[in-house]
Amino acid sequence: MAFTTPAMRHRLGETTRRDGWWINPAAMALTFLVFVVYAAWAAIQSKYYTYGPPGAEHYTYISPFYSPPFQEYFPKVAAFKFFPAFWVVWLPIAFRLTCYYGRKAYYRSIMLSPSACSVGKGAGRGYNGESALPWILNNLHRYFLYLIVVLVIFHWFHFFQAFNFDGRFGMGVGSLVIAADTILLSLYVASCHSVRHLIGGSVDCFSCARAGEARLKAWEGVSWLNQYHNLFFWASLITVGFADLYIRLCAMSIWTDVRFF
Ligand code: FES
């Protein structure tokens, strides 16, 4: 049953607040917009997503948008050769759209429902919870979590690959870009509310549960990380987009990957 709050009884954006309440939702909306437009464009590209030093037989960097590289593992499946990122990016998009923090971000910045505390969301826009389509699909988040863990494992594989320059250990700016993306994505996933629930959400008494002490320590660790979940959400969103851009521009010879050794 729909119910109303004071914010719903005012016109959209109506408020007595005098602070810069609009800056946060505006910045979030702009970041979302830039990322979505760039990711959509990148997802329909079928080249310039790997980079290796000139003359190398194997690539060193692969864009996170193309990991796992299905087109390499299943070269005979024609579908994977066209728009190879398309087969990967739906998962992080679904995971982020159903993320508890992601929901808050787009409810506020895109749907203005409401855009901030004590700011009107417009008359007649009641709240029905997430009990009907399409918002009930947000409950799939925990299932996307299981799949995203596989994706994180591939990211770590490509992390080590980013320090392998045709069989020799090395490090370039791209290695650090990929390292930052891998670490921030791992922190984003590890700080997920569903991970916290999986570890300790169903336990009433840790000292009575099997492996209770270890679970309590893990739950405390994830709970500590969880307080920074919004930071990891935005930081990993920016680094994953920048990693693709960096590798793409290096592959196109527009940027040069500086090697430290
Ligand atoms: S709640 Fe944000 S990733 Fe799960």
pLDDT at 1: 46
What DSSP designation does 46 have? -
With a cut of 90, say whether residue 174 has pLDDT above it: yes
Q: What is the mean pLDDT of residues 113-117?
A: 87
Q: 117 by DSSP, 3-state: which?
A: coil
Question: Given ligand 1 and candidates 104, 151, 192, 230, which is best to mutate, with the most ligand atoms within 8 Å of its CB?
Answer: 192
The pLDDT mean for the chain works out to: 91
pLDDT at 5: 58
Q: What residue ranges line ligand 1, CB within 6 angstroms? A: 99-101, 141, 192-194, 229
Nearest ligand 1 atom to alpha carbon 95: 3
pLDDT at 79: 85
Q: What is the mean pLDDT of residues 245-255?
A: 97
Nearest ligand 1 atom to alpha carbon 100: 1
Q: CB of 85 within 8 A of CB of 49?
A: yes
Nearest ligand 1 atom to alpha carbon 189: 3
Token code pair at residue 30: 């702009």
Q: What is the mean pLDDT of residues 180-193?
A: 98
DSSP assignment of 122-164 equals -TT--B-TT-STTGGGGGGHHHHHHHHHHHHHHHHHHHHHTTE
Query: Which residue minimizes the CA distance to atom 2 of ligand 1?
Result: 99
* pLDDT tens track for 56-105: 889 999 999 999 999 999 989 888 888 899 899 999 999 999 999 999 88
- Rounded Cα distance between 37 and 25, Å, is 18
CA atoms within 13 Å, Cβ hemisphere of 121? 21
Nearest ligand 1 atom to alpha carbon 233: 2
The least confident of 18-27, 74-83, 159-168 is: 74-83
Q: What is the mean pLDDT of residues 179-193?
A: 98
Q: What is the mean pLDDT of residues 97-119?
A: 89
Q: CB of 109 within 8 A of CB of 66?
A: no
Question: Given ligand 1 and candidates 103, 107, 187, 194, which is best to mutate, with the most ligand atoms within 8 Å of its CB?
Answer: 194
With a cut of 60, say whether residue 224 has pLDDT above it: yes
- Rounded Cα distance between 102 and 108, Å, is 10
With a cut of 90, say whether residue 3 has pLDDT above it: no
Out of 9-13, 31-35, 198-202, the most confident range is: 31-35
Q: How far does residue 209's CA lie from ligand 1's centre (Å)?
A: 25
Burial of 146 (0-12, 13-18, 19+ CB in 10 A): exposed
With a cut of 60, say whether residue 7 has pLDDT above it: no
Query: Which residue minimizes the CA distance to atom 4 of ligand 1?
Result: 192
With a cut of 70, say whether residue 4 has pLDDT above it: no
Question: Given ligand 1 and candidates 229, 236, 240, which is best to mutate, with the most ligand atoms within 8 Å of its CB?
Answer: 229
**Between residues 180 and 83, the one the model is more confident about:** 180
